[in-house]
Amino acid sequence: MAQDMAAAFQSKEREGRALLDAIPDPAWLVDTDARVLATNAAFCRNIGLPMDAVVGKTTFDLFPPGTAAQLREAQLRVYRDNAPVRDEVWFDTNAGRRLYEFLRVPVYGTDGKARGLAGVAWDITLRFEAERRQRLVTQVFDNSTEGLLILDAQARVILCNRAFEHTSGYGLAELAGHDPGELAAPQHLESLLERLRDEVTTQDNWRGEIWLHTRAGRDRPLWCNINVVRDEQNHLQNFIVQTTDLTERKAAEARIKSLATRDQMTGLPNRHDFGRVLGEWLGNGRRGTLLIFDLDNLGRINDGFGHEAGDTLLRATGTRLRHLLRDEDVLGRLGSDQFGVLTTGNSDTGAVEAIVRKLLDAIAQPLPIDGSEVVSTACAGICLFPGDGTDAATLLRNADAAMHSAKAAGPNQFRFFSHKMNREMAERLRLESDLRAALDRGEFLLHYQPQHDLESHRVVGVECLLRWRHPELGVVPPGQFIPLAEESGLILPIGRWVLAEACRQNRAWQDAGLPPWVVAVNISAPQFHDGSIVEQVREALAVSGLDPRWLELEITESVIMEEPERVVTLLGQLKVLGVRLSIDDFGTGYSSLAYLKRFPLDKIKIDRSFVTDLETNANDAAIVRMVIGIAKDLELKVIAEGVETAGQRDFLHRHRCDQIQGFYLSRPAPAESIPDTVAAFPPTQP
Ligand code: C2E
Ligand code: MG
Ligand code: MG
């Protein structure tokens, strides 16, 4: 049969060959045994053999065994199915691995049975690689974390990737054919459309931020990069839009901004931001009031109850102030224990005063912390603007001066700024810097004021009172520099010096052969709470060699009552050293009798303010009588301070006060004159 076919073919050989050679790709004719009957020039070129070396050979002669088996398998399939077969085969060629697509069709004899087959093969390597690249591009497009949109020349969506679907909440089906400008948040609607038209088309690129209105109704900030694709004729063909979701970055930026402008503990604007707002108000010509509130005893609350308690107090103060202010008022935290308030309107100082009083009252409300009630007052400084200053820095400085002036008047006070305060403030600052140097320059000295037995007027002791001989200002009274020293912490080295000097002096009097008497030393609040008071006293005694029973420590009532539990322990430790303890300025604080009983005290000192008007003010007289009564009940000695007249002395005598101190018998005097005074009233045991 194969001979039939070959014969038939030979008869038309020339036409057949011409036809075969006209085919640009390899073509061939094989019999059922896979033997080549005819082929074309392209086949010979590809396989690298001349025609007569191909014709008559089988597939197995011409190809490596693996390839040949694969080709044969396809041939057999044609006969089995009796139908054309298409498949793809890889060939290793001189030009590298190439993929061919094959088409084989059965060739039938006159009896209708297959006698062989005709085949053509064409190189599809390029198409295959293009498809592979396309798949890769699609994968990148789909998996990109940046949103990608491809628009047509009319800026309508053709394609978008998953990232964009995710950010926008819309699927491609909903977006296709739409202008993405429809997705911009309403307030930015114009942006994408207009900028696309203008900038993108003239510069072929636009970058910037837009707000996307998502399907869920949220506005998301997007960074957009739009590029134009043009065809060969330079006509606009597509827009490619890349979007990066900025939501998280914006949130991080907001956090950073908040760190820079907010006080983290109270969440209020910090000093910097408060000043900025004040500057804005001034720039807009607004009239208003600036208030600075400074807590009176945050430090002591921190020391006594721990920093947690201090933090609670600060947050509560912020909340209380905010609660009483109007929405348009600004509240900020200006420093560790300072708050600032800005309100509009300042024409009526009466009204401003009423607001300030209300705010101070709110701050002074007791606050429950760890089961106890903590009370913290504040002082306020007030500036009206633009009258008191036309820029933020000046106003803050002036309000600060007013606040300090209020502080000088005591706790829970407020003051309107006046230019006099700036001078006072400058003086204060100067005094503070002079105070720093005073100890080194030896400008401090002690005066001593005798304390007398009321009955016999004999000296029972002397109170040492600090004096500062300022090189230009002369003698500065302690009332002026001790609060300053307490605020700046300078009281600690100064107090240490006083204690050492008083002990040294008293021992010197004893060494000079004078009869012994007690020296009383005032201990300030920071010095008492510093943690080293016991050690300080022990050291002063050791260095001077003074017997502890000739040293008395005066601690003011307010200090003792602030944290009674801790004070009980401290006083106990001091008592063990053998020194005497007295409560100074009694009657000015809020003593709890229950505690008084537990303190290991020796003496109560009735404050001068009750003694002064004793003879005319029934109230003061009653207080003095009551204090004497308490002292007797507790079996403590009682002394009245500031006794200036015989009348006062007699009243105290009638009510069985033990001792007196005051100008009536003796004024504070330098150490040198004390022996003479004492000689006039020979000392007796206290
Ligand atoms: P203080 O402890 O109550 O001292 C008594 C004050 O009353 C002294 O004022 C004294 O000069 C004054 N004084 C005494 N008798 C009379 C009188 O009859 N009439 C009047 N009008 N005043 C009288 P000074 O020396 O100005 O001291 C004031 C305060 O300064 C003291 O009050 C005390 O709290 C504090 N202080 C004085 N020296 C020291 C010190 O070394 N350390 C500490 N921490 N505070 C001190
Ligand atoms: Mg005193
Ligand atoms: Mg006193």
Could you report the per-residue pLDDT of 14-63, keeping only the tens digit for each?
A: 888 888 899 999 999 999 999 999 999 999 998 899 999 999 999 999 99
CA-to-CA distance for 396 and 294, rounded, in angstroms? 13
Question: Residue 275 Cα, ligand 3 centroid: separation in angstroms?
Answer: 42
* Nearest ligand atom owner, CA of 642: 1
Minimal-distance CA residue to ligand 1 atom 44: 524
Neighbour-count burial for 42-53, b at 16+ CB within 10 Å, e otherwise: bbbebbeeeeee
Residue 465 alpha carbon, nearest atom of ligand 1: 38
* pLDDT value of residue 370: 78
The ligand that comes nearest to the alpha carbon of residue 607 is: 3
Which residue ranges does the chain devote to CATH 3.20.20.450? 491-666
The owner of tokens 């459309």 is 193
Return the higher-pLDDT residue of 8 and 150. 150
pLDDT, residue 85, reads 93
CA dihedral 493, 494, 496, 501 (to 10 degrees): 140
Is 1.20.58.220 the CATH number for 22-129? no
pLDDT band with cut points at 50, 70 and 90 for residue 113: confident
Say which CATH superfamily domain 491-666 falls into.
EAL domain (3.20.20.450)
- Nearest to 383, CA basis, from 411, 418, 348: 418
User: Given pLDDT bands bounded at 50, 70 and 90, which one contains residue 6?
Assistant: low
Over 80: is that where the pLDDT of 588 sits?
no
Count of residues making up the chain:
686
DSSP string, 114-149: EEEEEEEEEE-HHHHHHHHHHHHHHHHHHH-SSEEE
Question: Which of these ranges, 256-260, 478-482, 514-518, has the smallest mean pLDDT?
Answer: 256-260
Parts of the chain belonging to CATH 3.30.70.270: 262-417
Token representation of residue 9: 């073919």
Whether residue 116 contacts residue 107, with contact meaning beta carbons closer than 8 Å, is answered with: yes
In the structure, ligand 3 is a single-atom ion and the residues with CB under 5 Å from it are 584-585, 641
Ligand 1 atom nearest to CA at 486: 44
Q: What percent of the chain has pLDDT over 90?
A: 66
Atom of ligand 1 nearest to the CA of 585: 3
Contact by Cβ (8 Å): 288, 345 = yes
Q: What CA–CA distance (Å, rounded) separates 297 from 306?
A: 13
Q: Which pLDDT value is given to residue 680?
A: 87
Exposed e or buried b per residue across 487-519, where buried means at least 16 C-beta atoms within 10 angstroms of its C-beta: eeebbbebbbbbbbbbbbbbbebbeeeeebbbb
What pLDDT is attached to residue 2? 54
Residue 666 CA to ligand 1 centre (angstroms): 13
Predicted model pTM:
0.56
CA atoms within 13 A on the CB side of 250: 12
C-alpha 458 – ligand 1 centre gap (Å): 21
| 3 state DSSP class of 37 | strand
Lowest-confidence segment of 323-337, 363-377, 471-485 by average pLDDT: 363-377
Q: pLDDT digit string (tens) for 90-108?
A: 988 777 899 999 999 999 9
pLDDT score recorded for residue 187: 60
Helix (H, G, I), strand (E, B) or coil at 244: strand
| For ligand 1, mutation pick of 443, 465, 556, 609 (most atoms within 8 Å of CB) | 465
User: Is residue 283 pLDDT above 70, yes or no?
Assistant: yes
> Which 3 state secondary structure label does DSSP give 207?
strand
Q: 483: CA distance to ligand 2 center in Å?
A: 14
Q: With bands split at pLDDT 50, 70 and 90, how would you rate the model's confidence at 74? A: very high
Question: Domain 262-417 adopts which CATH fold?
Answer: Alpha-Beta Plaits (3.30.70)
**Closest Cα to atom 7 of ligand 1:** 642
Q: Give the rounded percent of residues in the chain with a pLDDT score beyond 70.
A: 96
- Identify the residues whose C-beta falls under 6 Å from ligand 1: 449, 465-466, 477-479, 482, 495, 498, 522, 524, 554, 584-585, 608, 641-644, 661-663, 668
Strand order across the 219-230 sheet = 157-160, 147-152, 236-245, 219-230, 205-213
Q: What is the pLDDT of residue 671?
A: 97
Domain 144-248 CATH (choose: 3.40.50.2300, 3.40.50.150, 3.30.450.20, 3.30.1310.10): 3.30.450.20
Q: Are strands 603-606 and 378-385 parallel, antiparallel or unpaired?
A: unpaired
Compute the mean pLDDT over every residue in the chain, rounded to the nearest whole number. 90
CA 174 → CA 160, 182, 363, distances in Å? 11, 12, 59
- 302 confidence band (pLDDT: 50, 70, 90): confident
Q: Where in the chain do CATH 3.30.450.20 domains reside?
A: 22-129, 144-248
Distance between CA atoms of residues 419 and 398, nearest Å: 8
Residue 217 token pair: 């109704």
User: Ligand 1 centre and the CA of 478: distance in Å?
Assistant: 7
> In this structure, which ligand is nearest to the CA of 582?
2
- pLDDT at 590 > cutoff 90: no
137 close to 55: Cβ distance less than 8 angstroms? no
The confidence score (pLDDT) of residue 640 equals 97
pLDDT band, very low/low/confident/very high, at 639 (cuts 50, 70, 90): very high
d(C-alpha 446, C-alpha 462), whole Å? 11
* Residue 259 exposed, middle or buried by CB count within 10 Å (0-12, 13-18, 19+): exposed
Residue 305 burial (CB count, 10 A): 18
**3 state SS of 384:** strand
**DSSP result, 509-565:** HHHTTPPP-EEEEEE-HHHHHSS-HHHHHHHHHHHHT--GGGEEEEEEHHHHHHSHH
Nearest bound ligand to CA 661? 1
pLDDT for 12 equals 72
The residue whose CA has the least distance to atom 12 of ligand 1 is 642
What average pLDDT score do residues 658-682 get?
Answer: 94
According to DSSP, residue 182 is labeled: G
